[in-house]
Amino acid sequence: MNCRQRRQAKYCESCFQEIDGDGETEEECIGQLKRFFSYMPQNPNERPPMRKTDDDPYRMVEEVFSILPDRRSRVYDMRNIIACLVDDGDYFECQKKFGKALITVLAHLNYCAWKLHAENQT
């Protein structure tokens, strides 16, 4: 195995550690992999793929204020905030088993792929 093959194998191994989802069927697991890889570039020399959206990049997300509680000591689900902020409300949550309070998602913001980390208040 040459240097390039080792680097590619390490890249693939880290991808599979990211997902850690439990699919009920083989098709569901393959679907999770396909969705995960839809956020990734084809190779390390490319940028992640952009995705078209109908969301206005300059939109005001007023619904976030309805999700956030009036008092800072109250809990809320950060996943609802993420769904408001990302393009089309669509994201892929990975590392679900890493911790209950930590949320890691892959999403598109203004057409570009991003990896977001957030802390859940619940």
- Nearest alpha carbon to residue 92 among 75, 77, 61, 113: 113
pLDDT band with cut points at 50, 70 and 90 for residue 13? very low
Q: What is the pLDDT at residue 20?
A: 67
Domain boundaries, the chain: 3-119
- How high is the pLDDT of residue 118? 92
Bridging pattern class, strands 91-94 and 112-119: unpaired
Question: Residue 12: pLDDT above 50?
Answer: no
Mean pLDDT of 76-87: 92
Q: In whole angstroms, what separates CA 42 from the centre of its chain?
A: 18
Percent above pLDDT 90 for the chain: 32
pLDDT of residue 3: 47
Q: How confident is the model at residue 21 (pLDDT cuts 50, 70, 90)?
A: low
